Structure formats: structure tokens, C-alpha cells
A and B are shown apart, each in its own frame.
Chain A
């Protein structure tokens, strides 16, 4: 089994590599909620009962294909910083990070598959893929589900489908979501309208880290709300269509901004590049917002294209827990802001055009 430090040395396979496909939709995630028949849900179970569920699940999960070289830990074995790193990587949820005994995390080496034991449900199977690939993510999660159901009796009802701790997940137990980068819709003041439209279609929009989090860095998560009454394929099809539409609106908004107001766009991107290249103290929020502009610049080919990958990596690595993990110690907020600025300067140094052109001739 892989150690925590080894897990983090490897970037997730959905974080690296970039093509035109992911200029708006960064990642796709699908999670399936499953519970063991005849066992109380984690939130109501006694410690002993939770431990029993964990013991019965852990061995089965570690035996799954590709998990031998993976990562498997009880959450009580990890310190709060390590748990926070897993949250920032979307490998466990914020809710699960708050749990301890009897809660576990099993992740494959590529980090495309993350299994959460005793989160809100006994088991959550999560698959992450780069760009808009919800169906592929579902296929991956479904294959694990089908493998496990031959060994574990899941709680199901002929009418209600998979039974979950919260009735909002009933039926398919499936929550599918995509992470979108929508800077042009924000810059052109169209975002509120687009988000309202998504809400009307019965889909949910959230910030970077799920429920109740604000949108930072122009990053938005779109997911299904209804899990009962429709087959998985129908839910995935609708989401894929809507997310594809939103991605097209964003692309159109980018093109329009370049035609209508090129100086404003280039000014925002240039200021972001300037701040990130020269700042000595920078908060996580400020960094995310500037990195968002810089990534837009790279997507629009105003900035070198290899910045896309660097920005995506920095989106993750400048988060507080990642930063402290890399530093090897817990840091006070100001120390973090200094460390963050330094990390960004170093990473951008090789990628950004060397000198500042102050001739003023170019827009």
C-alpha cells in the first residue's frame, strides 16, 4: 500500500495533461452512494457498528483491481492537515474529514477512483476524469459497483432503488458533477443569468468545494439534484448537454470579449500576470482569482499555452493544506501567503515572457 507522502508526490491523472477539450470544463466527477443491507447508517450507528462496517468493506475495497498499488487509511490515522489535503484534492469530502474512527479512504494510484467508507453513507464510490467525460466517469464507478455487489449485499428497494442515509440521494445514489472555469461569463456579467437558467433545469451550481462554498477563481460546479425517477443515462445525458451548452456560452463570451473589449481583457490578464510574477504576499483567494485570469490568457493564446497546465496545478498547490504539506510544517496565515507568493513566482518564472514590455505600443 502507498504511503500518504507517495500519494501526494503523484499528481492525479485528471490534473495533468491538457488539450482544447478542457479549456472550460476542467474535470468530471461521478459518485455512487451505497449502503450495506441491515446495518445502521454511519450517522446513527454506534462506534462499534461503524468499525464493523469498515472492517467488512476495507478488505473488499483493497482487493479491487488497481488498488494493490493504491492508498488505504483509516481517517483517524491521518492528521488534520493530511485530511485537508485529501479534501483539496476532492478525494474525500469535507463532511468525511470531520469524521474519525471507522471512517476510511481508499484511493487508486492515479487518483481517478476514490472510495469513501462511512462518510454519510457506508460507501461512496467516486470516479474523476479530466474535461467533460461524465459518462466515462460513470462507467468507471459503475464497474466498481458491479464488482462489489457480487460480494456485498447493498440495501435496495424495488421501488426506491438504492437506500441512502439522506433521501436526497435515493434511487440511483448518483451525483454527477463537472468543474467549469467561467471567467468570460463573469467578466461580461452574464454569469447570474446562466446560473439562474441552470437552476431552472433542476440542476445545482456550487463553488469550488461543494455545498455552501463560494465561487473562487471563477470556478463553478454543476451537478444533478434529482437522483430518483430517471435512469443514470438520462441524468448524465441531460447534464452533459447542459454543461456543453454552458461551455459553449463561455467560449462565445470569450470570443466576444476579444472583439468588443480587447484592451480590457488584455489589461485584466496582464495585471494578473504582473501581480502573480512580482507579489511577495498573496492570499489563497487573490491567487485563485489571478490564476483564473492567467489561465484565460493562455486559453486565448495571449499567454504561452503551457501556462494552462501550470495554472491548473497551482489552483491545487496554492490551497492552504497543500501549501503547508509541501512546506513540511503548519504555517500561520501570513507565512502561508509569503510561501504561496514564492511558489507562484518560481513556477511562473520559466513560463512567462521574460521582461515587461513598457514601450506602450502594444495592447
Chain B
């Protein structure tokens, strides 16, 4: 067997669980040492060996996810999901986020949507981002005792918030 890194004879076999998936590497002694596999910090090497998209795209890196026993919206249970592999309603994706996150890597090339989204929703998302930015600016302004600026920001925020409210009501 050849080293994954340099084609020399491999003598070190390394297994790591990342994103719920088993990753196996074989390395020669020199490469294993160079990559620091013999000390605990060597765990980071998985990042190095994996394709960048795989290493960065794992759901576990985005947020810690748990699963409820039952979807509060539709009553579908985690046991149902485990039995049939399907969901009860759109809200189940939030209720069983942990279980879904475990299943996605074996189904899809990535774990974050990168395709088309309805125009209205994209606008809502942009609004959310702008609001959180403005809130951060407001906090800075208040800390700096720049009250004139803070008042302007507050007006803009309430403007956006009412727009967001209308957007939700209209959809």
C-alpha cells in the first residue's frame, strides 16, 4: 500500500470520524511525522487531507443540532423518520435537525443549498442581514455616545422592521 501523500510505502494507518463519516488515510512514516500525526494536534490533518469543500461544508461546523422526539407542528415523530426516511411537514426539518444533518452527507454533494431561491425569500433574507448590521452599528453609536447617529439608525431599523412585518403578512 502506498502513502496517500507521497507514494512511499505506507506504514501508518489512520482513521478519523469527521462529519459522521469514517475517513481512512494511510501514510509513510516520514509524512505521518511531518503532519504531526504522532501528537494530539495532529487531528487537524483531516482538514488538510480532505477536499476543501468536504472539510468546510460539514453541517456540524455550522451549528450544533439536536432532534426533538416529536414535531410540534405536525406530530410526526423521530421514530417515524427513522422508520420511513421521510418527513411529516416542512417544520420537521427544524424539529429533527440533528437526525437530518447525520443523514445528509451520504445523500448529497454538499449540505448547504447553493441553487435557486424564490425572489421574495431572498429579499427577506437580505433584510434580516441588513437589520442585524444596523443593530450592531446602533450599539457602537450608543457606546460612543453618538446619539444623533443612534437616532438615525433607530429610525431606519423601525422602518425596515415594519417593511419586514408587511412582507411576512403578504406572503
Q: Which of A's residues lie within 8 Å of B, judged by CB? A: 35, 37-41, 43-44, 120, 142, 145, 149, 153-163, 165-168, 170-172, 174, 202, 225-232, 234
Contact = CB atoms under 8 A, between A and B. Distances in A.
Interface string B100-114: 100110011111111
B121 A167 contact: no
A355 B73 CA distance: 71
B100 A167 contact: yes
B90 A163 contact: yes
Contact of A166 (B74, B86, B110): B86
A174 B115 contact: yes
Interface of B: 57, 62, 73-74, 76, 84-91, 93, 100, 103-104, 107-121, 125, 171
Contacts of B100: 167
A37 B121 CA distance: 12
Mostly, the B contact residues are loop
B109 to A, nearest CB: 4
Given A153-B171, A161-B113, A171 B108 contact: yes
Nearest to B124: A158
Contacts of B121: 156, 158
Nearest to B108: A228
Given A228-B110, A231-B116, A165 B86 contact: yes
B113 A149 contact: no
Given A149-B120, A228-B104, A159 B74 contact: no
5 contacts: A159-B112, A171-B115, A228-B110, A230-B110, A230-B114
Contacts of A142: 116
A31 to B, nearest CB: 14
A229 B116 contact: no
B109 A228 contact: yes
A228 to B, nearest CB: 4
A156 B62 CA distance: 18
Contacts of B107: 167-168, 170, 225-226, 228
B88 A157 contact: no
A41 to B, nearest CB: 6
Contacts of A160: 93, 112-113
Nearest to B59: A159
Nearest to B84: A43
A232 B115 contact: yes
B111 A166 contact: no
B80 to A, nearest CB: 8
A159 B62 CA distance: 10
Contacts of B108: 170-171, 226-229
A229 B74 contact: no
A344 to B, nearest CB: 42
Nearest to A229: B110
A223 to B, nearest CB: 14
Contacts of B103: 167
